[in-house]
Amino acid sequence: MTAVRTATRRPPGPQEPVSLGIDAETLATLQDLRSRYGNMVSVEKPSGRLAYFINDPSEVRRILVRRHGKYVKGPGFERVKMLLGNGLIVSDGDVWRRSRTMIQPAFSRQNVHRLMAVMVQCCDRRAAVWARAAADDEAINITSETSDFALELILICIFGADYEKRIIAGGENPFAFLSRDSTRDLSVVMRVRQVRQLLLDIIASRRNGDGGDDFDFLSVYLAATDKNGGAFTDKELLDELTTLIVAGFETSANTLNWVWYLISGNADVEAELLEEAGRILPGVSAVNVESVAAMTYTQQVLEESLRLYPPVWLFTRRSHEHDELGDYDVPPGTDIYLSPYILHRTEDFWTDPDLFDPRRFAEAGKPQKDRPYFPFSLGPRRCLGEYFSFLEMKIHIGLLLPKFRMNRVDDRHPGLDIAINLRSQKDIMLQPALR
């Protein structure tokens, strides 16, 4: 028995060491630990480091919101850092606070609303592709389609006119591999590094005054300054732009992939979505801030899809000073594992947790802030792009579902690809038909 076990008040857990990573085996391990020991579990990793798995909503909130300052990013971010550099998702401490403060204005609701026309245009382009498939009686790969939609959208929102002038001018999108290759291994890291020179060229051009008056995220990032008047360096901009490109498209792409899968297998949900879209968005001209905000059932469908399939299935933290969770001590250096996927499917907190039921998000009860629900994390590190993502997804569903009925080609569940992000193991094929 180690000293750390005898000196601290620990949650229950196994005596033997437990290996934890960010993979399917870890998900199975955490699910087994919860079933055996409850919603707060302690283990020792093979390295000897103490680790806690926390599945209690109030303690999750304590870690991410009320006592976030006692924790830094945990294990598993090494690969993310290789891919994204030291951008907002990976950085900690003063570097993170400075970047967050400088970037936050870009994602104000007022600025995000300025990008709604781009969202509509990207939906129109998807509609043209799907209409051709429907006319030819061909199935579409909705996994690829939602990835292409979300990647094109975030690139235009970041680069504005430079998307056509500099990114796809050669006919091939140099970032297309992000939507085509779901792995995030060293080969993808190398391909990301190859496009960084293109980003540097665009940054240099913008710094030299080459840019229109249209709003885009890059213009805001370039104009941002910290409390001392300092701007982002080129290296900092590279890291933040890479982070925004990858994170900005993956969340929406993965969620929409599952949304279309769930809608195609739930006729009642589809009918209610169609009724709402027909009433609130009878055409493209009806898309505005007020109409999209009024799409409450569509919001519920999206939230329920995110409950079942949160894009980030596991968050990790590491304590850097002593804390207490419930009746237990958290010594400095303790690894903390938090899983939205498991919490969202725990019957202690959700009725029929595996059932797709959007109406559960319309139920009265606990205030929204107390829900056992954190697909975008919580607290100061809650995703800045959450509102942007919901807006683009509501417009996507509101404009495309009334045009196309989607039928599943295969009724079997596509399975889960569990890595840094939660994806479908197999691409989802749907047969579109014009309504």
3-state secondary structure of 316: strand
Domain hosting residue 185, numbered range: 3-434
Tell me the residue length of the chain. Answer: 435
In what helix (H) or strand (E) does residue 125 lie, and over which residues does it extend? helix 116-135
Report the C-alpha gap between 115 and 111 in whole angstroms: 7
Amino acid 187: pLDDT: 65
Nearest partner of 225 among 124, 101, 333, judged by Cα: 101
Report the C-alpha gap between 2 and 13 in whole angstroms: 14
User: Cβ(321)–Cβ(70) under 8 Å?
Assistant: yes
Amino acid 366: pLDDT: 58
Q: In this structure, what token pair is assigned to residue 275? A: 């009724």
What is the dihedral angle through the alpha carbons of 52, 58, 62, 63, rounded to the nearest 10 degrees?
Answer: 30
CATH assignment of the domain containing 20: 1.10.630.10
3-state secondary structure of 14: coil
Report the C-alpha gap between 310 and 254 in whole angstroms: 9
- The model's pLDDT over 7-47, given as tens digits with 9 standing for 90+, comes to 679 999 999 999 999 999 999 999 999 999 999 999 999 99
Mean pLDDT per 10-residue section of the chain, whose length is 435 residues: 61 97 96 98 97 97 95 83 83 94 96 97 97 97 97 97 91 84 65 84 91 87 96 95 92 97 98 97 93 97 98 96 95 97 97 96 70 94 95 98 97 94 95 96
Q: Count Cβ atoms within 10 A of the Cβ of residue 306 and give its class: 0-12 exposed, 13-18 middle, 19 or more buried.
A: buried
Amino acid 2: pLDDT: 44
Cα within 13 Å of Cα(325), Cβ side: 30
Report the C-alpha gap between 4 and 296 in whole angstroms: 49
Cα within 13 Å of Cα(276), Cβ side: 23
User: Cβ(333)–Cβ(367) under 8 Å?
Assistant: no
Amino acid 334: pLDDT: 97
Nearest partner of 127 among 390, 428, 406, 386, judged by Cα: 406
Report pTM.
0.94
Q: In this structure, what token pair is assigned to residue 310? A: 């949160």
User: What is the full DSSP assignment across 152-211?
Assistant: HHHHHHHHTTHIIIIISTTSS-TTTHHHH----SHHHHHHHHHHHHHHHHHHHHHHTT--
Report the C-alpha gap between 253 and 255 in whole angstroms: 6
Number of domains in the chain: 1
Cβ-proximal residues to 432 (8 Å cutoff; 6+ apart), any chain = 130, 133, 134, 139, 140, 404, 405, 406
